[in-house]
Amino acid sequence: MSDWLALDNLALAYDTPRGVREVVRDFTLGLAKGQIGSLLGASGCGKSTVLRAIAGFEPVRRGQVSLGGTVLSSAHVHCPPERRQVGMMFQDYALFPHLTVAQNVGFGLRRQPRQASAMQVAQMLDMVGLAEAGDSYPHELSGGQQQRVALARALAPEPDVLLLDEPFSNLDVDTREHLAFEVRDILRSSGHTAILVTHNQAEAFAIADRIGVMAAGRLLQWDSPYNLHHHPRDDAVADFVRRESLNERRAAAQNRRL
């Protein structure tokens, strides 16, 4: 199967007062249409930077980003973010508080005929189980409901790929688990291609077809959840998978005791 989203030997850097700082290098991955990928790794390893480059917010120093066979970014090409069919759902990418739920979901459809847009909004709200909430304002909804509205808003323009950057991290453990599965089902049934960045390994293993373990700006392994567990490429990956799942089991046990 050919890759729908392809990152080839990507290098990404920030200009800082102390000079150029390369934070992602030799980064190669491919994702088929309709698949869900996930990036895992310690804080600061470059996960959000990779997503921002796919969305077009970071220039590419070397290598390229392509989607559906079109090069969007390289050292010579830069398709601006608003011309990419990329949807985003970030933890701090809040809903507009002064707009209703329906207006939030329809935000990316402003240029479409009113009737088509209204139909799409209704369909999206139905998909995330909030058909009745169109006239509510964000503050009238729970955190989990707000994230579902954010998902509907991101999917309404039918993006070629959806990027999720720790979208559940503000939620309590139960809502978070529940919503993660719900989001997976919505993405699967609508056939969307997506990349989820998370700190939570259990979440990645529950949702993703392909998981990438990152460290210090590099992708150590990009593989199926099964292979990551059973055939880690090296000790670093094996340690990461083992350590994280141990931490999560400890946290879960602690939660149960509370």
Ligand X SMILES: Nc1ncnc2c1ncn2[C@@H]1O[C@H](COP(=O)(O)OP(=O)(O)OP(=O)(O)O)[C@@H](O)[C@H]1O
User: Residue numbers of the site for ligand X (CB under 6 A)?
Assistant: 14, 16, 21, 23, 41, 43-49
Closer to Mg ion by CB, 169 or 227: give it.
Answer: 169
Q: State the binding partner of 46 from ligand X, Mg ion, none, CB within 5 to 8 A by kind.
A: ligand X
Smallest gap from residue 54 Cβ to ligand X (A): 12
Q: State the binding partner of 44 from ligand X, Mg ion, none, CB within 5 to 8 A by kind.
A: ligand X
Q: Which of 48, 73, 120, 193 binds Mg ion (CB under 5 A)?
A: 48
Please say whether the beta carbons of 86 and 160 come within 8 A.
yes
Q: State the binding partner of 45 from Mg ion, ligand X, none, CB within 5 to 8 A by kind.
A: ligand X
Q: Residues binding Mg ion: what is the number (CB under 5 A)?
A: 1
Please say whether the beta carbons of 124 and 105 come within 8 A.
yes
- Burial class for 160, CB neighbours closer than 10 Å (0-12, 13-18, 19+): middle
Closer to ligand X by CB, 2 or 43: give it.
Answer: 43
Closer to ligand X by CB, 15 or 235: give it.
Answer: 15
Closer to ligand X by CB, 101 or 197: give it.
Answer: 197
Closer to Mg ion by CB, 48 or 145: give it.
Answer: 48
Please say whether the beta carbons of 36 and 194 come within 8 A.
yes
Closer to ligand X by CB, 1 or 92: give it.
Answer: 92
Is 193 near Mg ion (CB under 5 A)?
no
Please say whether the beta carbons of 18 and 27 come within 8 A.
no
Smallest gap from residue 165 Cβ to Mg ion (A): 6
Please say whether the beta carbons of 106 and 121 come within 8 A.
yes
**Residue where the block lists tokens 């847009």:** 117
Is 120 near Mg ion (CB under 5 A)?
no
Q: Of the listed pieces 16-24, 45-53, 61-69, 141-149, which binds Mg ion according to CB under 5 A?
A: 45-53
Smallest gap from residue 209 Cβ to ligand X (A): 21
Q: State the binding partner of 155 from Mg ion, ligand X, none, CB within 5 to 8 A by kind.
A: none
- Burial class for 103, CB neighbours closer than 10 Å (0-12, 13-18, 19+): middle
Q: Of the listed pieces 44-52, 81-89, 222-230, 233-241, which binds Mg ion according to CB under 5 A?
A: 44-52
* Interface contacts to Mg ion, rule CB under 5 A: 48
